Amino acid sequence: MPRLTRENIELAREIISRYPRPRSALIPLLHLAQEQDGYVTDEAMEHIGELVGITPAEVLGTCSFYEMLKLEPVGRYLVNVCTDISCMLLGGAELLEHAEEALDLKAGNTTADGLFTLEDVECQAACTEAPCLQVNYRYFTNVAPAALDQLLEDLRAGQMDGDIPPHGTLHRIRQHIPPERAAGPALPDGGQAPAWMAPAEGA
Amino acid sequence: MAPLASTDRIVSRRLEQSDAHTIAGYEGTGGYEGLKAALGRPPQEIVDEVKTASLLGRGGAGFPCGVKWGFCPPGVWPRYVVINGDESEPGTYKDRALMERDPHQVVEGALICAYAVGAAQVFLYVRGEMALAQERLAQALNDAYAKGYVGENIAGTDFSCDVVLHWGAGAYIVGEETGLIESLEGNRGMPRLKPPFFPAAKGLYLQPTIVNNVETVCNLPWIVLNGGDAFAEKGAETSRGTRLFAVSGHVQRPGIYEVEFGVTTYRDLLFDPEYGGGIREGHALKCFIPGGASAPWFFDEHLDLPLETGAVGKAGSMMGSGAVVVMDDTTDAVRAAWRVVRFFANESCGKCTPCREGTNWLAKIMRRILDGYGRPSDLDLLRDVCDNISPGLAWPPRMTTICPLGPSAVSPILSTIDRFRDEYDAYIAAAVPAPTTVSIPVRIRAKEDAGV
Ligand SMILES: Cc1cc2nc3c(=O)[nH]c(=O)nc-3n(C[C@H](O)[C@H](O)[C@H](O)COP(=O)(O)O)c2cc1C
Ligand code: SF4
Ligand code: FES
C-alpha cells in the first residue's frame, strides 16, 4: 500500500512550509493522500505523521473527524445529494430516492462496478438553486430527476472526464507562493511588533 | 423599502461580471484601490473607520467588527487573521458566491483587515466541499503575489503579509470560530471554551487572532475608499450598510440579494419583484426561517419587521447568517423541523453531553413521530430534552454547552410545536403502537452491510 509519491512529498513539503507549525498542514496533506489513492490509506497516514512530526494515531484522530476524508475506497464518482431544508422543500429527498433507484443501492453505498458512491448530505451552500447535488464536489443545481439520469449516463460514458476528475482530486489549481515574494510564516513565538505597526504600537 | 439600485451595491457589485475573478477584471473595476488607500494611512485610522461604519460581522453572531479588532491585547505578537469561508449553515449561500465570483475582493478585504490589526499572516479557511472556490482563490492569490499585492513589502510599503489558502474536509462545526482554529491547528474541529479562548486574545497557537467572515471583509475595500460615514448612512439603528441575504425555498425568485440593512423588511425580501418575487404560484406563506437553521421560525405577523438586529432579536429570533428559508402552505412542518434537527444531530461535534446526546434523541423522537410510531407523551418528551439542552427555553438561549450548536437544534422544534401543534397531534393520533420486538422503533442510518 502506497506512501506518498516523490512528487507528492515535494508538494507536501511546500504546503507544510507555509504554516507556522507543520501540524496545521494536516488536512491539506490528507487531501493530497486522498487525491493520490482515492482514499486515505494507513500507510499514507503514517507517512504524513512522519512529515509533520506526529504519530499515526494522532493523524487518524484528526482524519476520522472529517466527512470528506474516506478511510475506505469509494466509487470513482462520489454523488452527494443534498436533502437539507432548502433542497428538501423543492424535492431533494425525492431526488435522492431517484438516485437510489437509478443506481440500485441505498445512500452510503457503492455500486458493484466501483463507479458510484451515493451519499445523503447536508447543505452544500447552493440553497437558492435547489435541489442540488455534487459529483466529486462539482456542483449541479436545479436538478430534475431526468437530468440526474442524463448526468449518470454521461459519467458512465466518460463524457465528463474533463470536468470531473476521479474522487480525491479537489481543486486542480494550487497556490504557489514565489519564494522571492514570500513574507514567510509568522512563528507564534516571533514576539515582535510588525514593521508597519511599530510607530503606532510599541512591541 | 425600494430595492437597492445595482450601483449602490457594495459586496455583490461584481457578481454578474464574468471576468471579475481574473486580476485584470478586478483591477479594471477599482480592485486593490482600497488596499492601496489603506496602506497610505496609519492602521489605527482604518480601525476607526470600520468602527465609524458600525460594520457588524456577517458570519452569524453579528458582533461589531471594529470593536472585535480592538480586543487584541496590546504588545502581544504575532497576530493572525483567519477568514471564515466555511459556509455550511443550512440555507446559507453567499460566501461561496463571493469566493467563486469575486475572489480578489476577499483577498483585498483580508489584507486590509491584517494591515489594520497588525497581523503578520492571513489564513483563508475555505470549506472543503467548495472545489471551485478553492481554485478561484488559489489563482487569485497566485496572480496577486505576482503583482505585489500579497507577500513581502506589499505595494512597495513596509506591510508584509502572506495569505495562505487553507481548505477543510467537511464538518459544519468548524465554522464556529474556535472550532475553525482547532481545525487550522490540525486537530479535530471541536470548539474551545470562551472564556478564556476568545480568539482575539487567545486564538491560533494561542496568539491574538481575528476571525472574520468572508462577507464581512468584502466590505472593507469600499469602507476604506468611501469612508465609514458613507457606510453608516445606509441602514438604521444597529444595522448599517448593506447585507447579502439568500432567499430559498418556496419563493418565485430564489436568489442572493444585497439589500439595505436595517430598513428593508422581510416582506420586501420575500415579495418584492426584484427580490423573492412572492410565494410560488397558487400558494400562501406558511412560515419562514429568518436567519439560518439555528434561528427560531417566523410567520405572517413578522413580515413587516425590518432586517435590523435589535428588532429581529426582540421578536425572538435572529438574522444569523442571512439565510431566509421560505415555506408555503404545502409544507409538512413536522418533517421540515425534523430535517433541521437531523442536521444538528449529524453535525454535533460530541464534546458536550447535552448537545451530543440531546440532538440525537431529538432527531430520533422526531423520526419516530414521522414514521408513525409517535406517542402522546412525545411532545412533552421533546420539550424536556430541549430544556435539558437549553434550560428555560429562553431566547437568546442560556448556554450550558461550549458553543451554540446544541441550543440551535431546539429552535425548529419549539417553533413548530408552538405553532403547528395540530400537525404533531395528527401524526400521533394516526400512529400505530410500536412493534414490541424493537424497543426504540427508529430507522438507524447505516450501511447495508454494517451488520446492525
Ligand atoms: C455552530 C456555528 C457555526 C458557524 N458557522 C460559521 C460559518 O460557516 N461561517 C462563518 O463565517 N461564521 C460561522 N459561525 C460564526 C463564527 O463563530 C464567527 O462568529 C464568525 O466567523 C466571526 O466573523 P464575523 O465577526 O465577521 O461574522 C458559526 C458559529 C457557530 C456557533
Ligand atoms: S454544543 Fe455541540 S457542537 Fe458545540 S461544542 Fe458542544 S457538542 Fe460540540
Ligand atoms: S439546503 Fe441544499 S444546498 Fe443548502
Residue B158 CB partners (closer than 8 Å, separation 6+):
A195, A196
What is the percent of chain A where pLDDT is above 70?
A: 97
> What's the confidence (pLDDT) of residue B157?
97
Q: What is the Cα Rg of chain A in Å? A: 21
Here the cell at position B260 is: 439595505
Structure ipTM: 0.97
Q: How confident is the model at residue B1 (pLDDT cuts 50, 70, 90)?
A: confident
User: Considering the entire predicted model, what is its pTM?
Assistant: 0.96
Q: Which ligand is nearest to the CA of A88?
A: 3
Q: How does DSSP assign A31-50, residue by residue?
A: HHHHHHHSS--HHHHHHHHH
Concatenated DSSP letters for B21-32?
TSHHHHHTTTTT
Query: Are the C-beta atoms of residues B118 and B200 closer than 8 Å to each other?
Result: no
Q: Residue A46 burial (CB < 10 Å; 0-12/13-18/19+)?
A: middle
pLDDT of res. B452: 46
What's the CA gap between B329 and A197, in Å, rounded?
A: 57
What is the structure's pLDDT at A202?
44
Q: Are B401 and B352 in contact (CB under 8 A)?
A: yes
The sheet that has B255-260: what strands, in order across it?
B255-260, B242-249, B323-328, B285-289
Q: What is the mean pLDDT of residues A118-147?
A: 98
Minimal Cα distance from A52: which residue of B?
A: B186
Ligand 2 touching residue B389 (CB < 6 A): no
Residue B87 contacts residue B66 (beta carbons within 8 Å): no
Q: Residue A203's pLDDT band (boundaries 50, 70, 90)?
A: very low
- Please work out whether the CB of residue B405 comes within 6 Å of at least one atom of ligand 2: yes
pLDDT at B438 over 90: no
B233 backbone dihedrals φ, ψ, rounded to 5°: -65, -30
At which residue does the C-alpha cell 457606510 appear?
Answer: B231
**Is pLDDT at A183 greater than 60 in this prediction?**
yes
Question: Hey, which residues does B212 pair with through a beta bridge?
Answer: B83
For B206, residues 6+ apart whose C-beta sits below 8 A from its C-beta are A188
With cell 476528475, the residue in question is A165
Scanning B263-322 for CB atoms below 8 A from A yields 289, 293
Grade residue A2 by pLDDT with cuts at 50, 70 and 90: confident
CB A131 within 8 Å of CB A82? yes
Say if strands A133-135 and A77-82 run parallel, antiparallel, or are unpaired: antiparallel
Residue of A17, A31, A123, A124 to mutate for B, most B C-beta atoms under 10 A? A123
pLDDT at A138: 98
The phi and psi torsions of B243 (rounded to 5 degrees) equal: -155, 150
Residue B89: CB atoms within 10 Å: 28
Q: Write down the residue that cell numbers 470549506 correspond to.
A: B127
For the Cβ of B350 lying below 6 angstroms from any atom of ligand 2, the answer is: yes
